[in-house]
Amino acid sequence: MAALATGAVLLAGACAPFVTEAPTPERVAEGAGSPGSPGAGQEPGAVASGTALAQLETLTVKGRAPKTGYDRDHFGPSWTDDVDVTYGHNGCDTRNDILRRDLVGIVLKPGTRDCVVAAGVLPDPYTGRAIRFLRGQRTSAAVQIDHVVSLSDAWQTGAQRWGAATRTAFAGDPLNLLAADGRSNAAKSDSDTATWLPPYKAFRCEYVARQVAVKARYGLWVKPAEKDAMARVLSGCPTQPAPTAADATRPTRTAVRIDTQGIAAPTPSPTPRPALTTSRPAAGPPGRP
């Protein structure tokens, strides 16, 4: 497999901004200057249109609704292909759609119509590490698919009012899905920005921008502490563009040096050892010890 050949590859684009069109002179001007500072000609403290910061200001702010009644089943079958979003109805489940989008050097399982990913390498946006993926009962969990805005958080910020079709679309929308390190995904659980951010700081701007875009797209609100946390992150990258639906098919490309000597291999579940049986030595002939 080419991605696992001896050597090193640098995947460029740490916290690379989403780009949906060729930059115009106006957008170039907005993006000029050092990261975290206003663009050329922009007043200090001003929020440029088209940015994640500007989109954040459009979100409703109010308290968290009760989690009462939440169930994963309210968001449709896990990874169903029967959904009216990008990649929907393409003959492949959503989990494998996202693995094909986000992994590099992928190997597809024969006989699955180029659907099922058997192996590959994830330039993990949450840890900044390269993680080897190998499909299998004991190894697949090394790479998981994270809902950037968790289903539980969505339930508590507006999704209770949705119909079944909208909830299923939300759960399968690739704009809200990222392949990620399994342990980081478990640590995040259903946290929002106020209580969890990716350990890899270079990805935080893009991560929060995507959360904002998902909430804006589906009309979800943000909690006061959540908005404050989002604003703190995005104030360090004020020209970070607001993602659009077109970005759903573009993989994140974290700057990860892929070296086969240092790739984190999947950690399989331990296999129980068989019980040891102790046999006593056969007794010697009578009269001998």
Residue 170 maps to a domain: yes
DSSP structure class, residue 150 = -
pLDDT of residue 74: 98
Helices (H) and strands (E) in the chain, counts: 8, 7
Residue 182 maps to a domain: yes
Residue 20 maps to a domain: no
Measured in whole angstroms, how far is the alpha carbon of residue 20 from the centre of its chain? 20
Domain range enclosing 165: 48-259
Residue 18 maps to a domain: no
Residue 277 maps to a domain: no
Q: What's this model's pTM, rounded to 2 decimal places?
A: 0.76
Residue 11 maps to a domain: no
pLDDT of residue 252: 82
pLDDT of residue 44: 53
Residue 37 maps to a domain: no
The string of pLDDT tens digits covering residues 128-139 is 999 999 999 999
**pLDDT beneath 50: ranges in the chain:** 1-41, 260-262, 269, 275-289
pLDDT of residue 264: 56
φ and ψ at residue 11, rounded to 5 degrees? -90, 115
Residue 2 maps to a domain: no
Is the Cβ–Cβ distance between 157 and 167 less than 8 Å? no
Question: In the chain, how many domains are there?
Answer: 1
